[in-house]
Amino acid sequence: MRALGTAHRMTDPDHAVSDQRVQRQVRNATEPILQVYYRYIFGDWFLAEHIDPGDRVLDVGTGAGRSLLQTSDLTDDIYGVDLSPEAASVATALFGDRGGQFAVADGGRLPFRDGTFDVVQAAGFLPHFSDVSPYIEEFARVLRPGGRAVFNVKNEDTFVRHKLKPFHESRSLSRVVEAADAAGFEVVAVEPTFVMSRKQKMLVFSQRMPMALRWAGLVVSIFINAVARRIPRVRDGAALYWVLAEKRADPA
């Protein structure tokens, strides 16, 4: 494994994380109601379902480490990379005592040897990029054969308000499947998930609202989300897809 902590610069500096955003990420990682939101609404439960005890896990675009909340309950062999030094420092402070190690690095040039990890996870990372292929290729490189990549992508058919298609025909998802196949992955599971409307999020995230009202709004949203995921035509309108891809033992 190459040394952790090596700094890499992205070609687009706009993706660097601001101090203000880091503080929001700290809140997201530490406030109980927001932990529940990210697990059951944003879909972090999908990450935990595909991690086995003792797996060596890499979290790409880790921010303050929020997506490691479930991961760190299953394994203490966890690593995270983010372009922001501030984010890496905060994640170390929050999760260092759980075995986490964090570095400043570009998700497209990961500072690790081939075949280092059992799992690569990326929550909310790939939706920032129009071309995800270089990142998926890097995920494949640092995974062992049979290793798993777990990540989410934006449902562009919903976001641009095109006529909805079954989720397996989504333009955004089809591009990801093609990129994953070219990188040596087989996509083995796709799970649509929903996010709250702006007004719903304001209710849950606002610290000015009474806590009881915030929790009530969240519980209602979790129930609606659970029901929606079971209705085929509604599933097609999901905002995000979670994807599980397994690295082939003998890439084509």
Res. 251 pLDDT band, cuts 50 70 90: low
pLDDT classification of 66: cutoffs 50, 70, 90: confident
Does any domain span residue 190?
A: yes
Residue 80 near residue 11, CB atoms below 8 Å = no
Give the pLDDT confidence score for residue 235 in this predicted structure: 66
In a domain, 8, yes or no: no
In a domain, residue 35? The reply is yes
What is the spatial distance between Cα 10 and Cα 4, in angstroms, rounded to a whole number? 17
Distance CA 68, CA 104 (A): 17
Query: Is residue 102 in a domain?
Result: yes
pLDDT tops 90 at residue 216: yes
Q: Answer for the pair 132, 138: CB distance below 8 angstroms, yes or no.
A: no
Is 204 domain-assigned?
yes
Between 29 and 181, the higher pLDDT residue: 181
117-136 mean pLDDT:
91
Residue 5 inside a domain? The answer is: no
CATH code: domain of residue 179: 3.40.50.150
Residue-number span of the structural domain to which 224 is assigned:
13-247
Q: Enter the DSSP assignment of 184.
A: T
Domains held by the chain: number: 1
| 1 has pLDDT over 70 | no
- Residue 185 near residue 245 (C-beta atoms within 8 A): yes
Assess if residue 63 is contained within a domain. Answer: yes
Instruction: Label residue 141 exposed, middle or buried (CB < 10 Å: 0-12, 13-18, 19+).
Output: middle
